[in-house]
Amino acid sequence: MHRNALEFIKKWWKSEFRRPLIIRGARQVGKSYLVRQFAREGGLDLLEVNFEKEPDAADLFQKQSIQKTCEFLTLRYKIPIDPAKTLLFLDEIQAAPQVIPVLRYFYEERPDLRVISAGSLLEFVLKDHQFSMPVGRVEYFYLGPMTFEEYLLAAEEKDLCRFIADLQATDDVPLPLHKQLMDHVRTYFVVGGMPEAIGIFRQASWEECERIKKNILAAYQDDFSRYRQRVSDSRLRKVFQKMPRLIGEKLKYVNIDPEERSKDLAQALDLLCMARVGHKVHRCLANGIPLGAEIQEKFFKILFLDVGMVCSSCGLNRLDLEAGDLNLVNQGKLSEQFVGQHLLYDQPPGQAPELYYWARERRNAAAEVDYIAASGSKIIPVEVKSGKTGRLKSLQLFLQEKRRTFGLRFNSQPPALLKQNGRLFLSLPFYLIGQWRRMVETI
């Protein structure tokens, strides 16, 4: 299955300024598959070391001599190292944290050798490390679930992908094509973006896909014992199972469990976010770029890893999404999750996923904009709304207060460019989530 990240890795491979690459992301988002696919499509010799399967392999890595390390690897795996066609892949590197500092010596002593490492729960190792980090000697790439357009390609809908990529904001979309694309959006809402779930769905059935998603949810919970901090598994499970039901709400710990201390629940939530199965969307003031410079840390909403996993966790299936406005399903939480997870990972390569929202809490004048994104130097308020026209009240209040003139909305309707009160609003259907930057730039 095609991943857009392949294009980044191709550029990294060709760059004379590359550094050892660390791919970060939650379990099951396809990190290992991505590297193997890149090697396979490029006709490369993949020298793969998996530290979970082979913990003793860490002894092969010598800080004192990278040349000896290369010799040891060749002897152990019987793959000659040729810088022109060998890709050294260090998988599950969190299981051998002592190898992470060695990456700097690959950069300094063997810059001709391409090295990629990947790991789940890597954030815990990087936070609690007792070693010298190779700062400035490595680069990062953050991988999330498959996007809607990646799902379309996996569904063998290349022509629809091309149609989306060529569409302009002012173009009319024929109703049959709009309905066809919205049917795919509904399917994606249920299947989600986890590569294994998409692969099984294309090969087998809805039932098999659901079984795979339930297995992934169980695997995440099985990982709790590996979180390296003294938080009980039961508390982690409680927060994990509640998160999908709290999407789109300003988080209040009392809504997770009124009997638990907020401090204890906050610690559990922080660990789940470190594992990248959840993400905090902080409230920001949205006065300028970067948005993260003015966040209000105690106010945040929650995103889960993937919309399909939300459906499985909440007991929703395809029958719940077959008809009606997607914004009305599960009080609009699925729509907000869908848009949010795409915006979250729509960042420049190497930049950690981040997303914000804006709110004004005033009596009789409260307002909230679902997401605030940045496009270059522009601040883009993003609403996820149902209905054909909608009042866009919160967007209007935001633009008035911030003296801005453009807002973006996602819903189930065909694309439209609206003018209200001297302001411009671009309304896009969910299937254009991957094209929003291009369309905003052309207006």
With cut-offs at 50, 70 and 90, classify the pLDDT of residue 269: very high
Instruction: Spell out the CATH class of 5-142.
Output: alpha beta
Q: Find where tokens 């095609």 sit.
A: 2
How many helical (H) and strand (E) elements, i.e. helices and strands, does the chain have? 16, 13
- Give tens-digit pLDDT for 51-70: 999 999 999 998 889 999 99
Q: Find where tokens 């993937």 sit.
A: 306
Query: Going edge to edge, which strands form the sheet with 139-142?
Result: 45-50, 86-91, 114-119, 21-24, 139-142
Query: Residue 123: what pLDDT?
Result: 85
Burial of 354-387, coded b for 16+ CB within 10 Å and e otherwise, reads: bbbbbbeeeeeeebbbbbbbbbeeebbbbbbbbe
With cut-offs at 50, 70 and 90, classify the pLDDT of residue 24: very high
- Give tens-digit pLDDT for 125-164: 887 766 677 778 999 999 999 999 999 999 999 999 999 9
Q: With a cut of 70, say whether residue 286 has pLDDT above it.
A: yes
CA 372 to chain centre: 16
CA separation for the pair 392, 396 (Å, rounded): 6
With cut-offs at 50, 70 and 90, classify the pLDDT of residue 387: very low
Cα distances (angstroms) measured from residue 5 to each of 23, 122, 362: 10, 19, 43
Q: Are 224 and 233 in contact (CB under 8 A)?
A: yes
Average pLDDT, the chain: 93
Strand partners, 417: 426
Query: Residue 228: what pLDDT?
Result: 65
Residue 180 CB burial class (10 angstroms; 0-12, 13-18, ≥19): middle
Query: Residue 329: what pLDDT?
Result: 64
Share of residues in the chain with pLDDT > 70 (%): 95
CA separation for the pair 382, 409 (Å, rounded): 6
Per-residue HEC secondary structure of 62-82 comes to: CCCCHHHHHHHHHHHHCCCCC
Share of residues in the chain with pLDDT > 90 (%): 84
Question: Model pTM?
Answer: 0.94
Task: Give the residue, 322 or 96, on which the prediction is more confident.
Answer: 96
Q: Are 339 and 362 in contact (CB under 8 A)?
A: no
CA separation for the pair 383, 370 (Å, rounded): 5
Of the candidates 190, 202, 430, the residue with the CA atom closest to the CA atom of residue 316:
190
In the chain, residues under CATH classification 3.40.50.300 are 5-142
